[in-house]
Amino acid sequence: MSLLTVKDLGKTFGGNRAVDGISFNVAAGELLALIGPNGAGKSTTFNMVNGQLKPDSGSIRLNGQELIGRKPREIWKQGVGRTFQIAETFASLTVVENVQMALLSADGKLFSMWRRAADHRRADAMHLLDQVGMAPQADRPCSVLAYGDVKRVELAIALANDPKLLLMDEPTAGMAPKERNELMALTKRLVVERGLAVLFTEHSMDVVFAHADRVIVLARGRLIAEGTPAEIRQHPKVQEVYFGS
Ligand code: ADP
Ligand code: MG
């Protein structure tokens, strides 16, 4: 069954039809790649799903409930999480403090000096760090981590709100191939273990074909193809867009 149902979604900037009436579904337990050349409308689509941009037309339903018109924070509370292209953690805090802060924020509370001193929700934070393989580095400051490890912490932070759907805009940007594959393998494991749905954008076709369960392809705001990695690889329209043949 579909968790996220997007229908006839559209957005125009000035005279530019950035997203031109696209429809797609994301199911729980699915790792879905959204690909397409620069300017295809991928980020605009993400920003409409998380409520940062208001669509001109269409509908976005999560478990049957319309998201359009809700504030980003309400959509986040409903279970739509996101990670950012540039990893965002508080460098002066430790790994576990960053996750504790995210857990408190999900509870609507602030991370204060006394909560820090009292190790508020530390056990829950450690549990999440364990899931992303970062428990051994829990007490290191985020400022000293390798980039791939910052991305893992960022995943734990996103999981703190227990999302049903996670949006990842170019999660592997700036990473070496080995790190990319590790991050996507970890993401896939979370999808399977938690029944999470993940929608991600990705430039590397190797990553998409190796890890995605399903792929949707945008070009100039239109959805031109949809299918398994094997189907997408051979799709004539995709060949045309990517290889001009
Ligand atoms: P992608 O993420 O696939 O590279 P985007 O969604 O960022 O594509 O952009 C789709 C189109 O919309 C592009 O032509 C881009 O220039 C335009 N666009 C995106 N955001 C804005 C904005 N805030 N204002 C005006 N035009 C925008
Ligand atoms: Mg983009």
Number of domains into which the chain is organized:
2
**CA of 36, nearest ligand number:** 1
User: Rounded distance, CA 119 to CA 134, Å?
Assistant: 18
Instruction: Give the residue, by CA position, lying nearest to ligand 1 atom 23.
Output: 13
For 117, phi then psi, to 5°, come to -65, -35
87 confidence band (pLDDT: 50, 70, 90): low
* Spatial contact of 105 and 159, defined as CB atoms under 8 Å apart: no
Q: List own/partner pairs for 222-231 with CB under 8 A and 24 or more apart.
A: 222/20, 222/21, 222/22, 223/22, 223/23, 223/24, 226/24
Regarding whether 54 and 3 lie in a shared domain, the answer is yes
* Ligand 2 ion: Cβ-proximal residues, 5 Å cutoff: 42-43
Regarding whether 169 and 61 lie in a shared domain, the answer is yes
Helix (H) or strand (E) holding 76: helix 72-78
CA triple 82-49-96, angle to 5 deg: 15
Boundary residue ending a domain (111, 140, 162): 162
CA of 220 to the centre of ligand 1 (A): 10
Regarding whether 224 and 158 lie in a shared domain, the answer is no
Beta-carbon count within 10 A of 237 CB: 13
**86 pLDDT exceeds 70?**
no
Regarding whether 128 and 204 lie in a shared domain, the answer is no
Q: What tens digit of pLDDT does each residue of 154-186 get?
A: 999 999 999 999 999 999 988 999 999 999 999
Both tokens of 3, joined, read 């968790």
Across-strand partners of 83? 168
CA of 140 to the centre of ligand 1 (A): 38
Average pLDDT of the chain is 93
* Spatial contact of 94 and 139, defined as CB atoms under 8 Å apart: yes
Regarding whether 167 and 144 lie in a shared domain, the answer is no
Regarding whether 47 and 146 lie in a shared domain, the answer is no
Does residue 85 belong to any structural domain of this protein?
Answer: no
> Cβ(39) to ligand 1 under 6 A?
yes
> Cβ(18) to ligand 1 under 6 A?
yes
> Cβ(164) to ligand 1 under 6 A?
no
- By most ligand atoms within 8 Å of CB, the mutation choice from 11, 35, 44, 199 for ligand 1 is 44
* Spatial contact of 179 and 147, defined as CB atoms under 8 Å apart: yes
CA of 221 to the centre of ligand 1 (A): 9
Regarding whether 60 and 3 lie in a shared domain, the answer is yes
* Spatial contact of 39 and 219, defined as CB atoms under 8 Å apart: no
Boundary residue ending a domain (135, 162, 189): 162
Does residue 113 belong to any structural domain of this protein?
Answer: yes
CA of 197 to the centre of ligand 1 (A): 25
**0.90 cut: is pTM over it?**
yes
User: Rounded distance, CA 97 to CA 159, Å?
Assistant: 15
Regarding whether 196 and 148 lie in a shared domain, the answer is no
Beta-carbon count within 10 A of 11 CB: 23
Regarding whether 71 and 17 lie in a shared domain, the answer is yes
Give residue 220's domain range.
1-79+163-245
Share of the chain above pLDDT 90, in %: 80
ipTM of the complex as predicted: 0.98
- Residue 243: give its domain's CATH number: 3.40.50.300
Beta carbons within 8 Å of 44's beta carbon, 6+ residues apart: 11, 18, 19, 53
Regarding whether 236 and 175 lie in a shared domain, the answer is yes
CA triple 77-52-215, angle to 5 deg: 85
